[in-house]
Homo-oligomer: A and B are copies of this chain.
């Protein structure tokens, strides 16, 4: 990762679609390694950095937390097995599915209730009723 560091943070940002501030943030929290610098102190990145950042971005797009990405990168760096990676992914999948379940419950309640609204200028509203309800006392 030392050789052929030949572009700056702006270029890296453009080529990965990751915000400059976010790149520096990832470095600060140890997700992206500190790159070499110019004499003046500007960061210089290589292809390897770019690839790692793309990995991070893709993982974020798939909803992995920073901690999970840390794990994944650790595995990828240090000779992983498919089983190990799969375990992280399946665990994350559980989280996602729980969130979907929660959101779908919200959606159903809201959609059903809003459908019962007369709308317009009526001074009564089923939605207000639902929000005022305490469900399980």
Residues of A within 8 A of B (CB): 16, 51, 54-55, 58-59, 61-63, 72, 76, 79-83, 85-86, 89-90, 92-93, 96-97, 99-100, 103-104, 106-107, 109-111, 113-114, 117-128, 130-135
Contacts and interface: CB of A to CB of B under 8 A. Distances in A.
Copies in the complex: 2
A8 to B, nearest CB: 20
Closest 10 CB pairs of A and B: A82-B125, A82-B122, A86-B117, A85-B125, A83-B119, A81-B121, A63-B106, A58-B131, A83-B120, A100-B103
A15 to B, nearest CB: 9
Contact of A97 (B58, B80, B107): B107
19 contacts: A16-B134, A54-B132, A54-B133, A58-B130, A58-B133, A58-B135, A80-B123, A81-B121, A82-B119, A82-B121, A82-B126, A83-B122, A86-B117, A86-B119, A86-B125, A86-B127, A89-B127, A100-B103, A103-B103
Nearest to A99: B103
